[in-house]
Amino acid sequence: MRRRSGPWHSCPRTSFSSGNVRNILLEVRKNRGIGEVFSDLSFIFVQQTLWMNNIKRMETVNQLIDRLIDLAFAEDIGDGDHTTLSCIPTDATGKSRLLIKEAGVLAGVEIAKEIFHRFDPTMKVQVLMQDGAEVKPGDVPMVVEGKVQSLLQTERLMLNVMQRMSGIATMTRKYVKRLEGTHTRVLDTRKTTPGMRMLEKQAVKIGGGVNHRIGLFDMILLKDNHVDFAGGIDKAIERAKTYCKEKGKDLKIEIEVRNFDELRQVLHIGGVDRIMLDNFTPENTRKAVEMIGGRYETESSGGITFDTLREYAECGVDFISVGALTHSVKGLDMSFKAC
């Protein structure tokens, strides 16, 4: 096993501080048992500390993925994979192949390589098919060679990630093909699995879709609740513009409208980059696009299904956001077998 500063293999006793919260998470689990973890106030305190620490600094995509891998190993392996450790010699070596069992779009190859190498840098990964490739049952995108103990302990995390990402990429590719011949692009949303947003957003891109905002930090999206709490569309837009100027933020501003009255207000006030047409019918969407006249980007959202997707695209909107790309997708079937 790779010896590194990650939390899942080495957890010295320490105090509760933001710099040590990842180590503490495993320490709590190892010494109290998983049943007590979720009822112990110390666990809640650690999670709050972790969250508060994160909002004080912006982490890179790679840092977030590293933390996800660390946490996934911690919750799966704990103080050891006793099944593997009890029956597989430490010096045994072998090979396993990734076997595709369902047609779809492959995604997660690069992340899988990182999972293997972070756990055991001696593992050798032979990639035979790249992210974005269309696969069918019987395809073998990857062969991995190394210690058998390492192959067995990394199998489930690798499969969980690749099945999830490939399912999202497959669904996205289906939607993208449905839009062929129009200028409309399909967008994802923030309806993602907690902790896996970066991977799921990456899977959308692999499938040919476009990422909407990554989180709450990289775009201003004035939705109905923001408008209502702010006291109206004019106040919401002006406050957003003032905030960006005062904070030195170069952020795009998008606003959601629910009807033609709100759309007319936005067109009169201006100061936004994109207008989201929420729960408009196709007929009203076409009329709204004509009213906007290319002055702002347009996005359709709300109640749009695969069957109605193209009808909305043919109304001339620039984007259609689809939460289903990530929130209810089925993983692509695949396995990791000894060879």
In the chain, % helix, strand, coil (3-state, to 5) comes to: 50, 15, 35
Q: Are 48 and 87 contained in the same domain?
A: no
Q: Are 200 and 323 contained in the same domain?
A: yes
What one-character-per-residue DSSP string does 93-138 give? Answer: EEEEEEEE-S-EE---HHHHHHHHHHH-TT-EEEE-S-TT-EE-TT
pLDDT one-digit tens code per residue, 169-197:
999 999 999 999 999 999 999 999 999 99
Q: Are 238 and 316 contained in the same domain?
A: yes
Q: Are 230 and 244 contained in the same domain?
A: yes
pLDDT one-digit tens code per residue, 33-55:
444 433 433 444 444 444 445 55
- CA distances to 17, 34, 60, 174, 281 from 179, rounded to whole Å, are 50, 47, 32, 9, 18
- What's the total number of domains in the chain? 3
Is 11 domain-assigned? no
End position of a domain, from candidates 50, 82, 114: 82
- Residue 136: CB partners within 8 Å, gap ≥ 6? 100, 103
CA distance 42 to 248: 38
Residues annotated catalytic, as ranges: 156, 191, 223, 256, 278
pLDDT above 70: residue 29:
no
pLDDT one-digit tens code per residue, 231-267:
999 999 999 999 999 999 999 999 999 999 999 999 9
Domain carrying residue 41: 18-82
Tokens 């775009």 belong to which residue? 219
Of the pLDDT bands very low, low, confident and very high (cuts 50, 70, 90), residue 59 is confident
Least confident of 29-33, 129-133, 211-215, 282-286: 29-33
Is 106 domain-assigned? yes
